[in-house]
């Protein structure tokens, strides 16, 4: 067998020492985007936007980790938030809330994974549950009408630790009255007294989450929906409430009828009482001002020309002519 040519050996040696081709520049996945933490009462749900799609057909999964302010990153143990395909992690489903309650500062981070490719971690700013939670209204509100009172019972929005407590104010008003506020209350049973029997009152409960002294979290509050209720009373009170307006109406009706009957019976006397008083003639007034002048001159001077003057006088017939006419007729 003939040995290979020298030029072929030279090419093989150069090929073995050649540089390997460069790796694919897209060696990492794009990171998840728009992390959002939903905190409402005892709900804690972390969600995010998925990574942009690639040409790889393998599924993309996500991993969630947490840490406290003085600790290392850990996987979530109470719920399954490792290698999940959905783009959220609900910490309230399996008791994970117990780790994140109170005033403990918590940080969360998420990354994507596809086969051997991974993305960078995306970290959410730290949060404190009592300082960032949205407080809802009380739950299971029931109102029982009483005799001039309303008995209100309810449950707190969620359970709290010794780091905080709830306080309640009741805003109530009669439908035609002004709003009043009663409280604060710390118990879940409230009685509104001194209300009108069989009165309709509307109310609204304000809930405040108060963090204990020494912390900088502001109070967080919410209002329940408005509901209206009618108070009760005994049978005598109900009779009073019904008869008083009826009695007033009947009294006014009877008084009106009596006045009308008296007017018809004494109509002439009533007209006489309400007619205008007689006036003193102007001549008499002039005479009273100056009694020394003769009364007849005053009357002649001030007599109205409309009463005593005529433009012309016509004699229609005389007595003698009338007698002659009668005799001729006979």
pLDDT single digits (tens) 148-157: 999 999 999 9
Neighbour count for residue 167 (Cβ, 10 Å): 15
Q: Model-level pTM?
A: 0.60
Structure tokens of 250? 């009947």
Tally Cβ neighbours within 10 Å of residue 129.
23
CA 104/CA 127 separation, integer angstroms: 8
What the block records as the tokens of 253 is: 């009706």
State the DSSP code for 194.
S
Is 150:201 a contact under the CB 8 Å cutoff? yes
Q: What is the pLDDT of residue 19?
A: 37
Share of the chain above pLDDT 90, in %: 34
For 110-159, the pLDDT digits (tens) are: 999 998 899 999 999 888 889 899 999 999 999 999 999 999 999 999 98
DSSP state of 147: B
| Strand intervals (E) in 244-318 | none
Q: Where are the beta strands (DSSP E) in 119-264?
A: 122-127, 139-146, 149-155, 164-174, 180-185, 189-192, 200-211, 220-223, 227-230
Residues 6+ apart with CB under 8 A from 100: 44, 66, 91, 106, 129
């Amino acid at each position: 067998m003939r040995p290979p040519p020298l030029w072929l050996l030279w090419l093989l040696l150069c090929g073995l020492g050649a540089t390997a081709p460069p790796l694919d520049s897209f060696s990492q996945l794009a990171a998840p985007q728009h992390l959002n933490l939903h905190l409402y009462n005892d709900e804690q749900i972390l969600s995010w936007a998925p990574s942009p799609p690639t040409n790889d057909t393998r599924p993309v999964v996500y991993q969630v980790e947490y840490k406290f302010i003085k600790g290392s990153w850990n996987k979530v143990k109470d719920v399954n938030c490792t290698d999940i395909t959905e783009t959220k992690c609900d910490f309230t489903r399996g008791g994970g809330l117990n780790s994140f309650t109170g005033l403990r500062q918590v940080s969360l981070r998420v990354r994507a994974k596809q086969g051997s490719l991974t993305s960078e971690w995306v970290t959410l700013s730290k949060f404190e549950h009592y300082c960032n939670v949205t407080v809802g209204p009380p739950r299971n509100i029931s109102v029982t009408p009483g005799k001039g009172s309303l008995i209100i019972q309810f449950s707190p929005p969620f359970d709290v630790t010794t780091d905080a407590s709830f306080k309640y104010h009741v805003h109530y008003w009669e439908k035609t009255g002004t709003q009043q506020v009663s409280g604060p209350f710390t118990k879940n049973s409230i009685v509104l007294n001194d209300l009108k029997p069989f009165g309709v009152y509307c109310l609204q409960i304000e809930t405040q989450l108060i963090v204990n002294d020494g912390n900088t979290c502001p109070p967080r509050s919410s209002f329940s929906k408005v509901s209206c209720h009618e108070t009760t009373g005994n049978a005598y009170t109900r009779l009073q409430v019904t008869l008083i307006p009826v009695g007033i109406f009947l009294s006014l009706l009877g008084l009106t009828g009596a006045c009308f009957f008296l007017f018809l019976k004494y109509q002439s006397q009533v007209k006489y009482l309400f007619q205008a008083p007689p006036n003193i003639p102007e001549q008499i007034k002039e005479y009273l001002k100056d009694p020394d002048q003769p009364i007849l001159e005053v009357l002649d001077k001030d007599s109205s020309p409309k009463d005593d003057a005529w433009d012309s006088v016509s004699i229609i017939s005389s007595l003698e002519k009338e007698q002659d006419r009668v005799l001729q007729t006979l």
